[in-house]
Structure 1
Amino acid sequence: MKLAEALAQRAAAVRQVEQLRARVVGSARYQEGEEPAENAAEVLAQAGEVLDELERLIRQINRTNSTVLIEGGGTLTDALARRDVLRLRHSVTTAAADAASGRDQRGAVRQLRSELRILSALPVAELRAQADVLAKEIREVDTLIQRTNWEIDLIED
């Protein structure tokens, strides 16, 4: 099985656990004289089985990510960490540019010359340029990760 397939199975298992959780919660209590919609204990046991499978998948995915070397050096785990930090850096940079440009302040336009002017403490154009570079880096790292996910076989237990 390819790593990408395992990632898709992991996502499906997470969704299934959420559905089972909702079913357990909905059937955990019922009114006297009524029948519960489902046997909560059986649904809870089913959730336990899916969670066991999810744990197995996560272990295999993590083991694979930490041992697979990728183009440019480092492991797949290193690339995932790089992408996560690039996304955060991009978010901070664009938020700073938005704040400095007054984009997030409604009604901050001066009506009279006697009103105080609002000045930018940061170079908006430079921040936008940095955000563009970061966005490009994110796309490149993400492409490398996605390609690797489809090329690499999952390390089985």
Structure 2
Amino acid sequence: MAILAAMKLAEALALRAEAARRVEQLRSRATASARYQEGETPAEDAAALLVEAGQVLGELESLIRRINRTNAATRVGDGTLTDALARRDVLRLRHGVITAAADAAAGEGQRGYRQLRSELKMVPALPVAELRGQADDVARQLREVDTLVQRTNWEVDLLD
């Protein structure tokens, strides 16, 4: 995997993902071949696989450095692309927290009926409809930030 001098940030992100997958494959293959039964031949040369993994890891580190430099230097709205990525990550987490709380308050995933009249009735401790509205608003914000990030990834050149 040769790293080209001029490429868009989105291309570098795709190469980063490919390199990470390749490292995982090489790790798996090296560990599978690290021991073999005496008198047998290992399926692959574990030492050669480790050398190859080292080369891919070096390329991966270079890509990550360039991506991080580009993200920190790229202006997006009121901040940098790094700021937008942090916002997107937190919005994802916020959406998950709100929807999980709404689901729990609504009784989703639990038995929704009583077996006997004498059993206690479960009541929500949170306003489910209000939480669903908040989750919808956070999801909208997340889509907007994600669209901005994706568009920027295809518009910005990767820095050296």
TM-score normalized by structure 2? 0.94
2:67 maps to amino acid:
I
> SS at the partner of 2:100?
helix
Q: Provide runs of 4+ in structure 1 moved above 4 Å.
A: none
Which residue of structure 2 lines up, in the alignment, with residue 100 of structure 1? 105
**Mean Cα deviation higher: 109-118 or 22-31:** 109-118
CA distance in 1: counterparts of 2:50 and 2:61, whole angstroms? 16
Deviation at 1:89, TM superposition (A): 0.3
Residue aligning to 1:143: 147
> What is the alpha-carbon distance in structure 2 between the residues aligned to residue 21 and residue 100 of structure 1?
44
Matched, 1:80 2:71: no
Structure 2: which amino acid aligns with 1:47?
A: A
Paired with 1:4 and 1:152, the residues of 2 have a C-alpha distance of 8
Cα distance, 1:53 vs. partner?
A: 0.3
Structure 1, unaligned stretches of length 5 or more?
A: none
2:69 is matched with which residue: 52, 63, 72?
63
Report the alpha carbon displacement of residue 105 of structure 1 after superposing the two structures with TM. Answer: 1.1
Task: Give the count of matched residue pairs.
Answer: 154
Task: Indicate the residue corresponding to 2:156 in structure 1.
Answer: 152
Query: Which residue of structure 2 lines up, in the alignment, with residue 117 of structure 1?
Result: 121
Q: CA deviation at 1:112?
A: 3.0
Q: Which residue of 2 aligns with 1:39?
A: 45
CA distance in 1, matches of 2:109, 2:47: 50
Q: Deviations over 1:29-83 (max 9, x none)?
A: 111101111111011000000000000000000010011001x210000000000
Out of 128, 146, 154, the position equivalent to 2:132 is 128
Q: Could you list the per-position Cα deviations for residues 7-50 of structure 1 after superposition, in whole angstroms to 9, with x for gaps in the alignment? A: 00000000000110011011101111011111110110000000
Partner SS for 1:59: helix
State the Cα RMSD in Å: 0.8
Q: Name the aligned partner's letter for residue 63 of structure 2.
A: L
Tell me the equivalent position of 1:29: 35
Question: Aligned partners of 1:112, 1:27: CA distance in 2, in Å?
Answer: 60
CA distance in 2, matches of 1:90, 1:11: 25
Tell me how far apart the structure 2 counterparts of residues 61 and 33 of structure 1 sit (CA, whole Å).
47
Q: Which amino acid aligns with 2:159?
A: I
Q: Does 1:53 align with 2:70?
A: no
Q: Percent identity?
A: 71
Consecutive unaligned residues of structure 2, counting only runs of 5 or more, are 1-6
Letter in 2 for 1:102: G
User: Take 1:15 and 1:115, find their aligned partners in 2: how far apart are those partners?
Assistant: 52
Q: Matched residues in 2 for 1:26 and 1:117: separation?
A: 55
Question: What letter matches 1:98 in structure 2?
Answer: D
